[in-house]
Amino acid sequence: MRKFREQPFEKPPEEELPPPVGPRAPDAIDRLIAEHGPATICAILAPVLTEARVARIEQVLAARLGSILPVVEDVYEPHNGAAVIRSAEALGLQELHVLETGVRFQALRGITRGCHRWMDLARWRDARACVDALHARGFTVLATTPRGAMPLDAVDVSRPVAIVFGNEHAGLPEATIAACDGAVVLPMFGFTESFNLSVTAALATSQLAARRRAFLGADGDLDPARVAHLRARWYALKVRGAAGVIERAVSARTHGDVAPEPQSP
């Protein structure tokens, strides 16, 4: 029988990481929405979209959940990073926060299948800064550890919950665990000692999202302003060259507003 030798894990070489940026910085689409308003953006782009596509966007918006969010720290494998994004988006979660305390977060786009475009990604260099920001928004922040004192099904979902996952090899650092409000553990019944990172994230967020929706009595919980912004953003993401379409339409409206009245002969 062939014997397999376990190779020692070597951490990738350190790289200079960008400063903490927190929530995603506004891009060209966000700036257009801020300048002209989401209603104007939607009015311009709606005629370009099919009725089926508009209906699908409305369906997803109605089920979007902002009060359950995953946080991952120092993900080494781009496959796992992509899988976490894909699972979170499929579960209807709007945000993913990543801690880059030593490794830059990467995700293979071939695996995300474009779903990263529909979510808000926040990046942090410091766990305490991330936790403090989530606390300011009313979140309970829980770490996942093999020795977690609380089972996942005992988590209080009457308030927003952020759940933090460590990397594939070392788990969460003690400093990150200490910054959280508590620790939880996923039950395991086999000989295997741990789930894969992306599996852990999918299992935990799936259960928490289901319980949170049951508590709310609704599939989604985004406030109207956020829904309006996302609707405009998603319309733009579905239209090729949306920025140009919007700018031309706005320009045409502006010129029409200031055009001189035709004079009688």
What CATH number corresponds to the domain at position 100? 3.40.1280.10
Contact present, 115 and 84 (Cβ < 8 Å): no
Q: Give the model confidence (pLDDT) of 53-94 as tens digits.
A: 999 999 999 999 999 999 998 876 767 778 888 899 999 999
Residue 262 placed within a domain: no
Closest CA to 65 of 82, 89, 97: 89
Q: Give 117's pLDDT tier (boundaries 50, 70, 90).
A: confident
The domain of 116 spans 51-224
Domain count, the chain: 1
Residue 8 placed within a domain: no
Name the CA dihedral angle for 151, 152, 156, 162, rounded to a multiple of 10 degrees.
130
Residue 252 placed within a domain: no
Residue 229 placed within a domain: no
Residue 209 placed within a domain: yes
Work out the average pLDDT over 120-124. Answer: 91
pLDDT of the residue at 88: 94
Work out the average pLDDT over 43-52. Answer: 95
Residue 65 placed within a domain: yes
Residue 20 placed within a domain: no
Work out the average pLDDT over 187-196. Answer: 75
State how far the Cα of 199 lies from the Cα of 186, in Å rounded to an integer.
11
Residue 85 placed within a domain: yes
pLDDT of the residue at 1: 38
State how far the Cα of 12 lies from the Cα of 103, in Å rounded to an integer.
8
pLDDT of the residue at 250: 86
User: Which pTM does this prediction carry?
Assistant: 0.82
pLDDT of the residue at 168: 67
